[in-house]
Structures are given as structure tokens and as C-alpha cells.
Amino acid sequence: MKNILFAFSFLFVLFSGCSNELDIIAPQEEVMVVYGLLNASDSIHYIKINKGFASEDDAPIVLAKDADQLFFDSLLVTLIDKSNNTAVVLSPVSMDKNAGIFNNTVNYVYATNHELTVNRNYGLKITNLISGKVVTANLELVGPPVAKTPTIASINLYPIESGKLMTINYEADMRAAVYEIRLNFVFEEINSITNEVKLDTQSWVVSSGKFNDQKRILIRLDGQLFYDNLAATLEQKGPEITRRGKHLEFEYWSGDKELSTYIDVYGTSSIGVVQKKADYTNITGGYGIFAGRNSYKITGSSLRTEIKNELKTNPVLTPYRFVD
């Protein structure tokens, strides 16, 4: 389910880089291309707005390569809480961006640190103060899941043993349509020569997909898969480096129906770069996506003794020198 993983991390791609594989077509109709993925857990919320050009046929909508043509000169961007009809004005900010087909000297997005509330309806309204054109979109923020196994109280006792089943069980918010579960392993690297101790994390996407009507996820996997994934992602280092496991983190990501539909249409190849006029958008008067997601994390503080022992004795981890 690479599409799901991409969707939950695509803001990084949208705001920092672009593909180099894009054919520029002659500009005709000027359009607004909007991307926003709101998460109540985020401290800052971003909306990306670019100027695009649409042809009369089904050719892609293309963003401008020239920085002077990529952004609108004067926009009023507001986020509206539909429960009380209050509006927050977003401010333009500059963000770093990698070189690509778009001009990489400047990259503007609109941002606010306003605290959002889950399960509320929010509207986005963008007004071009020069042309008078208005673009709108709406969403209902996804709420957090209810964790059954593990929980905050039980994560330090969570068992992961080869040959035995590890269980992940939780209930999602009723508005969630897609999900991703990540298991993060936090460990130390100790250098016996310099005495330097470095903290590191390896992340494993345990499962991803779409919810059924029950909005419940129950996963049972052989614990050996955890150790196999760890061995496949760790780097072998010199004999002076040993490692020590510290704790586990479970991350539960979910997205709304709009995000689920967008994933179905675009997959992983074109988000933020090219769109076709016949493809999906939920932006009224423009193109792009305005969707909601939720992230919820359970963080432990220690590991079970059985996990510490298996880190040292499991054959697939022998080259990585785990110690007590």
C-alpha cells in the first residue's frame, strides 16, 4: 500500500520538492491549484496555492516555471470553523524547496498556528483580491482512534517474540476512510572509541489500507517479522559500534474520504505536480485537494526483557551487535 504511505507524508513533497519530468504547454486559461491536508495534531497548518494554466482539451494543468508566474500577487486565504462561523486569516510564509521543474528560489505557502478541533467542519475560502475570483472547499476533521492493544498503559509490556503472534487492535474515528500503522523502534548506538551515544529510530509500516464499515483494525503477525524488518533496515557498522534497544512507538494515521478518493485517482506519481482536468478535485472553482487526516502516537519508555534478549540472540540481528 505505497499509495497510503505517500499520502500521509506527501506534504513534505508538496512543500519541498518537485518532479523534473513535466512538459510545459502553452498557457491559456489561468486557474488556481490548491493543496491542503489538515491535521488537528499539527501545531502549524499549511495551504499551498499555485497558479496553473489549463488548455481547452484534456492536457494537464501545468504550473509555471517562472517564479513570477507561479504565485498569485494578492490573495486573501481564510479558514472558517463552520460550527461558529469564525474565520482565521492565513499568512504567506517562505519555505525551502529542492531544485526541480519549478523555480526553486522561492516557495510560498499560507500558514496558521490556529488550534483546530477534531470532528468539526472547516471551510477554505481563497479570494484573488485583484481579479475577484473566489475558490472554496470544505472538510470534516478526522478524530483520533481508540487504542485497544497496545495502550499507553501497556506499551512497555508489549510482547514481540519470534514464533508468537503480536497483536494490534484499535477502533478508528467514524470519519476515517484510509489508515496506516507504523511501529517505531527507538535505540541507542554506542561508540566504544569516542564514548558517543546517539539515539536513532527505525520505522516499520506494519499495515495500511482502507477501513470497512466497522472502522476497526485487528492485526496479528508473527513477531519475527519485526526482527526481520529491523535487520533489513539497519546499517552494519564497525566493531566499535554496539546498539541498545530503548522503547517502542506506535503511530496510527488515518485520512478522510476525500484523501482516500484522491489516492485512488492519482496514486503516488503526480500529487503536487500535474493534474488532468478529468481527474479528481474537491476544490470548487479550482483544482487540487483539501482533505483531513489524523495522527495519534503511543510512546513507551522501556522494553520487555524478552525483547531485549531477542535483540541479542535472534540470528538475523547478529551483525548489528545489540547489548543490554
Q: pLDDT higher for 122 or 261?
A: 122
How confident is the model over 185-225, as pLDDT tens digits? 999 999 999 999 999 999 999 999 999 888 999 999 999 99
pLDDT attached to residue 56: 61
pTM over 0.85: no
Helices (H), 138-256: 224-233
CA dihedral over 116, 92, 284, 291, signed as positive or negative: negative
How much is the mean pLDDT over the chain? 85
Residue 66: CB partners within 8 Å, gap ≥ 6?
103
pLDDT attached to residue 229: 98
Question: C-alpha distances in angstroms, 72 versus 76, 78, 107, 126?
Answer: 10, 15, 12, 11
Judge whether 297 and 41 are in contact, CB under 8 Å: no
The whole-number average pLDDT for the span 82-97 is: 91
How confident is the model over 296-316, as pLDDT tens digits? 999 999 999 999 999 999 999
What beta strand segments (E) does the chain contain? 29-39, 45-54, 60-63, 75-81, 86-89, 91-94, 108-112, 121-128, 134-140, 146-149, 165-171, 178-191, 197-210, 216-222, 241-255, 275-276, 287-299
Give yes or no for residue 21 having a pLDDT over 60. no
Q: pLDDT higher for 6 or 58?
A: 58
pLDDT attached to residue 143: 94
How confident is the model over 258-274, as pLDDT tens digits? 998 888 887 643 323 33
Give yes or no for residue 22 having a pLDDT over 50. no
Cell 494490534: give the residue. Answer: 168
CA distance 71 to 160: 50
Give yes or no for residue 8 having a pLDDT over 80. no
Q: pLDDT higher for 287 or 156?
A: 156
Judge whether 244 and 302 are in contact, CB under 8 Å: no
pLDDT attached to residue 263: 82
CA distance 185 to 222: 17
- What end-to-end distance do the CA atoms of the chain give, in Å? 35
Question: Taking the domains of the chain in order of start, what are their residue ranges?
Answer: 2-142+256-292, 146-254+298-320
CA distance 1 to 249: 21
Judge whether 296 and 144 are in contact, CB under 8 Å: yes
Q: Quick check: helix, strand or coil at residue 80?
A: strand
Q: Quick check: helix, strand or coil at residue 5?
A: helix
Q: pLDDT higher for 134 or 268?
A: 134
Cell digits for 25?
504547454
User: Which strand (E) or helix (H) includes residue 264?
Assistant: helix 257-266
CA distance 243 to 201: 12
pLDDT attached to residue 178: 93
